Amino acid sequence: MGRKALRTLVVSGALVAGVGLVGVSAASAMVPAEVGASARGESVSAVNYASKRSATVDGLRVRMGPGTDSAILGQIYAGEPLQVITSTRVDGGQRWSLVMLQSDSAGGLPSGYVGWVTDAYLY
């Protein structure tokens, strides 16, 4: 099996299993990450691969987990396309989505990068 096919199989299996991937680029190793929700006892909704959204603001922070207490991985800018992988609601009611960038970000994040953003700034 070729390297690209194996990588595709691993990512597909991880996403189907509900495991988030953080900081994935086409040239990087794919490492499962602690995406935060299940570790903190929060509920995570079903995977929705069909949901395509975009940021409504410049400088929207992409985080390691849902919530403002999670580490910032980078930023995305208005109009940049995202694919929602899953979402959760944290204490206080704020909804967060695990997203994958569909193109390179003006903030320097590569296409395919995965992280959490607040739904308040998505359309």
Top pLDDT among 3 and 10 is at 3
Q: Reply yes or no on whether the pLDDT at 3 is more than 70.
A: no
Top pLDDT among 106 and 34 is at 106
Mean pLDDT score across all residues of the chain: 75
Q: Quick one: average pLDDT of 78-97? A: 94
Q: Quick one: average pLDDT of 96-116? A: 95
Give the up-direction half-sphere exposure of residue 91: CA atoms within 13 A in the CB hemisphere.
Answer: 5
Give pLDDT, residue 2.
56
Alpha carbons 59 and 14: distance in angstroms, whole number: 28
Share of the chain above pLDDT 70, in %: 59
Kind and range of the H or E element at 116?
A: strand 114-118
pLDDT tens track for 18-31: 444 444 333 332 33
Domain ranges (residues) in the chain? 3-121
Contact status, residue 95 vs residue 48, Cβ threshold 8 Å: no
Alpha carbons 92 and 20: distance in angstroms, whole number: 23
Give pLDDT, residue 51.
85
Q: Quick one: average pLDDT of 48-60? A: 86
Give pLDDT, residue 29.
29
pLDDT tens track for 29-51: 233 343 444 444 555 555 555 68
